[in-house]
Each structure stands twice: as structure tokens, then as C-alpha cells.
Amino acid sequence: MRFFANPAQAGHCPGFEFFRGKRVPCFETPERFHFVEQALREAGCVLEAPAAFADEALLGVHSARYLEFLKGAWAEWLATGNEGDAFPAVWPGAGMRRDRLPQNFAARMGFFAFDTGTPLAAGTWQAARSGADCALSAAQSLLAGELSAFVLTRPPGHHAGIETFGGYCFLNNAALAAQALREGGASRVAVLDVDYHHGNGTQEIFYARPDVFFASIHGDPMTEYPFYLGHADEQGEGAGLGANLNLPLPAGAPAADWFSALEQALEAIAHSGAEALVVSLGVDAWEGDPISRFRLKTRDYATLGERLRRLGLPVAFVLEGGYAVREIGLNVLACLHGFEP
Ligand code: SP5
Ligand code: ZN
């Protein structure tokens, strides 16, 4: 297994996020990265820097105008007289127009955002961009014959859509890896998302496509973030109909139910004809996670890894959420060690 670690992650370090109108400390912190890094190093893993890919490699997943916005957003935020972390303040709500991108900076920020929990700071673009390089490097290593790779990065990616940021995510690392695997020759690819929160961005990106199968096990969006996507009746559209599988479980669901859903997901992935798998490895389904409500134990992550190995596909694991900082490293390590003992 090869390990690609994001060298720019620490630059994304906002001071707070909004939660129901209040400023609260960020859950998604550089500390998270360090706990995973430490667990991997203690286990003897060798972490590599990513290769540098051209911006064009992002265009298979995100729109050009979104990438242009993100790249310049911090400078524009300062230039329009603001200071501190950048947040959206206005959105195109239902019934308003999305067919024109306004010139006003705040209006553009709201156009591309979907929550106030995802601050954009000085080093956000560079951190997200280097994370994309890590995801693309992982895909490249699988295409070169490696059996597995792990992307150690933050900010996470699975909530980022074609042109939306939110849920602590800006660039969709898992989608970038899946797209790179497709472009590199895999005729079909699957993405399995085991983060507690539905991977709305990944689903949106591949929703009309038959060549990338998306399966997700997550808290029921009727009560759990991101609320507006992730229901079981979302099965893909057009040529992609049947290539999207959502397995929502109620908050508080026991591990046995989670593993039943995993079996369903793996069976569907096996039948999808995928030649490679990307795993959105959020470890916030762990029983002690501060913002999530599933009940997996650390040993369950080892079982997940073992079960994934039995699929027999090359796998790129991509770090997503997980907010119980000390345990993130142990849970990630348990999964990777279960996959490759
Ligand atoms: C990648 C990922 O896991 N993103 C999750 C984004 C969740 N954003 C909503 C956070 C809500 C925080 N709730 C705090 C409850 C404290 N009692
Ligand atoms: Zn999550």
C-alpha cells in the first residue's frame, strides 16, 4: 500500500465555524491529520508527497468557473474589505435564478456554497489543491499496478459537488480519484462512501453516469446532515439509472445493521463490473464521534478492511470525516491493516 500525505493541509486552519447562528470551534482541524499521520508512522508506513498535476485534471469533476472562484476567493474576500475567515451570506434559494453568475463577490460565494459550516481561510485553496494531487497520485499508483493506496488529506472532499462547497469540503478527492481511474483505463469504477454523512457531492458528480457506481451508507438525511440528498429512492438518472445506491440508516443504528448495509453495497459493487474501487473513508461512524450517531467500534473498522480485501479489487482509500481526533488514527489504521494485514 502506498500513502500520499497532503503537505499543504495545515494552511487550511479556520478559527471557527457557524452552527445554528453561533460561532463554535472547528471540528475539522489540522490535529485530525496529525493523529492519522502519527498512527501510520508508528505502524511503519512510509508517507509520500504527491506528484503535481495540472489544473486540467480537475475539470472532469468540477466546473471551470467554480475552480476559478475557489482559487481567487481568499484574495477577493480581502480585496472587498473583509478580514478573518470567509463565509457566505446570501444564497440563490428555490425560485431564484441560477442561470446567471453574479459579479458581486458575496453573491458568487453564496452561489457556490451550501452551508455556513465551511469557512474558507488563507491557505484553503492550496490545501484543497494539494489534496487533489494526493488523490490523483493514488489513482496513478493503482493504474501502475499497485493493489492499494491511502490518501491522507484534509479538508475532506465528499460533500463538494460539481460547483458547490460545504460540509468542510472544497474539492472532491474521491471523485477525482475515480475519474482519473476511468481516464487511465478502468472501464468501470465504484465509489463506496462509509462516512457517517451522505456523500452528496460524489453522488451529484456521477449521478447521470453508468461508468462510476456510487454506494453510500450514512445517517438518514431526514434527521442527519447534509439533509437534502441521500435518500434510498435516489438511484441515478438517465444513463446512470441503477448506478447509485443509498443505504441510509437511522441515527443510533447498531453495528450489525451497518454491516448488513455493507453487504448490500459490496454485492452491488461486485455486480457493477467495477475494475477499481475508491473508498471515501470517513471514520465518523465510530461510536465516540462527537457529531455523528452510529456505533462502530475500532475492531469493526478492521472487519471493514478485511471485507473490502475480499472484493479482490484495487482500492484507493481517501480520508473524509472523523472528529474524535485521537481515535481517527486508530480507526483508519484498523481499516487499512484489516485490508492489508
Ligand atoms: C466530511 C464530513 O464529515 N462533513 C461533515 C459536515 C458536518 N457539518 C455539520 C456540523 C454540525 C455540527 N454539529 C455540532 C453539534 C454539537 N453538539
Ligand atoms: Zn462525515
Cβ atoms of residues 155 and 85 within 8 Å:
no
Residue nearest to atom 14 of ligand 1 (CA): 291
Binding site membership of 154 for ligand 1 (Cβ less than 6 Å): no
CB 123 within 8 Å of CB 10: yes
Measured in residues, the chain has a length of 341
**CA–CA distance, 74 with 15 (Å, rounded to integer):** 15
- Of 118, 171, 197, best ligand 1 pocket probe by most atoms within 8 Å of the beta carbon: 197
User: How far apart are alpha carbons 207 and 5 in whole angstroms?
Assistant: 29
Return the residue whose CA atom lies nearest to atom 2 of ligand 1: 321
The residues annotated with a catalytic role in the active site are: 159
**pLDDT grade for 325, boundaries at 50, 70 and 90:** confident
Judge if the beta carbon of residue 32 lies within 6 A of ligand 1.
Answer: no
Residue 328 grid cell: 481517527
The average pLDDT across 184-202 equals 99
Ligand nearest to the CA of 160: 1
Residue 11's closest CA among 119, 167, 86, 121? 121
Residue carrying the nine cell digits 463577490: 105
Q: Residue 189 in contact with residue 181, Cβ under 8 Å?
A: yes
CA of 208 to the centre of ligand 2 (A): 24
Give the number of C-alpha atoms closer than 13 A to the C-alpha of residue 243, restricted to the C-beta side: 24
Contact 151/176 with Cβ under 8 angstroms? no
Q: Which residue has the cell 455493507?
A: 262
With a 6 A CB cut-off, is 193 part of the ligand 1 pocket? no
Whole-number Cα distances in Å, 194 to 104, 214, 247, 265, 294: 38, 11, 10, 10, 11
pLDDT tens by residue, 111-122 = 999 999 999 999
Enumerate residues 6+ apart whose C-beta is below 8 A from 286.
292, 294, 296, 297, 298, 301, 322, 324, 327, 331
Q: How confident is the model over 6-62, as pLDDT tens digits? A: 999 999 999 999 888 899 999 999 999 999 999 999 999 999 999 999 999 999 999
Q: Which of 253, 278, 262, 248 is nearest to 138 (CA)?
A: 278
* Cα(291) to centroid(ligand 1), Å: 5
Q: How far is the CA of 184 from the centre of ligand 1 (A)?
A: 35
- Report the CATH number that the domain containing residue 145 is assigned in CATH: 3.40.800.20
Domain count, the chain: 1
Would you say the CB of residue 204 lies under 6 angstroms from ligand 1? Answer: no
- Which residue(s) pair with 318 in the sheet? 151, 280
**Ligand 1 centroid distance, CA of 168 (Å):** 9
Please name the residue that has the C-alpha cell 454491516.
259
72: CA distance to ligand 2 center in Å?
27
169-182: average pLDDT: 99
| Secondary structure of residue 118 in the 3-state scheme | coil
Asked whether 149 and 340 are in contact (CB, 8 A), the reply is no
Query: Do 249 and 289 touch, CB atoms closer than 8 A?
Result: no
Tell me if 320 CB under 6 Å of ligand 1: yes
Task: Evaluate whether 340 touches 148 at the Cβ level (below 8 Å).
Answer: yes
- Residue 218's pLDDT band (boundaries 50, 70, 90)? very high
Ligand 1 close to Cβ of residue 226 (< 6 A):
no
Could you tell me the residue range of the domain that residue 300 belongs to? 2-339
Task: Say if residue 334's pLDDT is above 90.
Answer: yes
Of 23, 195, 291, the one to substitute when testing ligand 1's pocket (max ligand atoms within 8 A of C-beta) is 291
CB 120 within 8 Å of CB 86 = yes
Whether pLDDT at 242 is above 90: yes
